[in-house]
Amino acid sequence: MYTAKICTTPMTKPSFIEAIREQIRVRHYSLQTEKSYLYWVRYLIRYSQVQRASELTPSHIEFFLYHLSSQRGVSASTQKQALCAIVFVFKHVLRVDPDVLTFPYAKAPTRVPQVLDNQQAKLIINQMSGEYNMIASILYGSGLRLNEALRLRGRDIDFVHRTIFVFRGKGQKDRVYLLPSSTIDSLKGQIEKVKGVHHKDIEAGFGFASLPTSLFRKYKQSIKQFHWQYIFPASRLCVHPVDGYICRHHIHPSAFGRALRVATEQAQVGKRVTAHTFRHSFATQLLLHGTDIRTVQEQLGHKDLKTTQIYTNQYKKVIYSACFLATNSRRMDDGIVIPL
């Protein structure tokens, strides 16, 4: 008769940091969010000088946030990020209702997006070369976010229908963007280049692309195929942070940021330009060419129309001012003075 053996090995309780990481991954938060949350929790523990996480109290949080704002002088968004990490830990790991915690919320200032006109955007893009030129062209010509452009894989570009498929973009949503016709030839050349890199990786015994954990487990036998490879791959192989296999990731966002700063200086554009500036400029150009607000919202992937209206509220004033000045100039030529 078969008798089942009962495992008597006690389950080890995960450490505090491991418990946080487990709660983050259960909710499928991004790796960047995981790194950020763990950074702020470790910082809080060091600053509070407590021996156990259970010793943390609301007063520790208040002193820590005041330290960030008054002594370190962090921005409101950074302070808010730290607060979100701490509230997450109290709610999901320490099992403390965050409503009983008393802490100040920092209000971020309302900013009008910085934009480039068509000539300025082209000046900056022309100062960039290779992969960075293609990435900037896609950002300006399609309105993608930087991470969405960097995560494009071989299967995401449709040259026949001239579309770009974004898999699990912001908000874990799939979206389809327009592929700028000016990037087609360069992208085809880039894909051929990536095929050569991928072939060398396979010959060396590697060839895996970096995939989310869920996709790795599902498609483990086929992730050496080319369509999983990033179009803008990193120059070095790396170890996957969760599953531990050797793979090739995409270009790091900071590398593109450095190239963009150099190009902006060389183009002598007197504005602060980031990767997101191209997205703002793309939306503005659509509106200036008569595209309706709903179409712009869909193209940008905004969940709330109010987010898209940031552009319309600003550029209605610009267009009105331009029309007013043009009318005023004509009337001044006719000798008619308009009181202001």
Q: Active-site residue among 170, 193, 224, 240? A: 170
Q: What is the pLDDT of residues 227-249, one digit of tens each?
A: 899 999 999 999 988 888 899 99
Residue for token pair 């990435």: 135
175 is catalytic: no
pLDDT at 4 (0 to 100): 42
Q: Active-site residue among 91, 155, 224, 302? A: 302
- CA 66-67-68 angle, 5° bins: 90
CB 41 within 8 A of CB 18: no
> Among 18-27, 94-103, 226-235, which is the least confidently predicted range?
94-103
CB 277 within 8 A of CB 116: yes
Q: Active-site residue among 132, 140, 145, 250? A: 145
Q: Name the β-bridge partners of 153.
A: 230
> Among 132-146, 169-183, 191-205, 228-242, which is the least confidently predicted range?
169-183
CB 120 within 8 A of CB 269: yes
pLDDT at 311 (0 to 100): 66
Contacts of 333 (CB under 8 A, 6+ apart): none
Q: What is the pLDDT of residues 37-70, one digit of tens each?
A: 999 999 998 898 888 877 888 788 888 888 888 8
What structural domains and CATH numbers belong to the chain? 16-100 (1.10.150.130), 110-340 (1.10.443.10)
CB 194 within 8 A of CB 251: no
pLDDT tier, 313 (very low <50, low <70, confident <90, very high otherwise): low
Strand ordering across the sheet containing 175-178: 157-158, 163-166, 175-178
Separation CA 296–CA 273 (nearest Å): 22
60 is catalytic: no
Q: Active-site residue among 151, 153, 250, 279? A: 279
Task: Pull the structure tokens for residue 116.
Answer: 């480039």
Distance of CA 247 to the CA centre of its chain: 21
List the one residue out of 157, 127, 126 whose CA is nearest residue 232.
Answer: 157
145 is catalytic: yes
170 is catalytic: yes
311 is catalytic: yes
272 is catalytic: no
Check pLDDT > 90 for residue 139: yes
Q: Active-site residue among 261, 276, 294, 316? A: 276
pLDDT tier, 285 (very low <50, low <70, confident <90, very high otherwise): confident
What is the C-alpha radius of gyration for the chain, rounded to an integer number of angstroms? 25
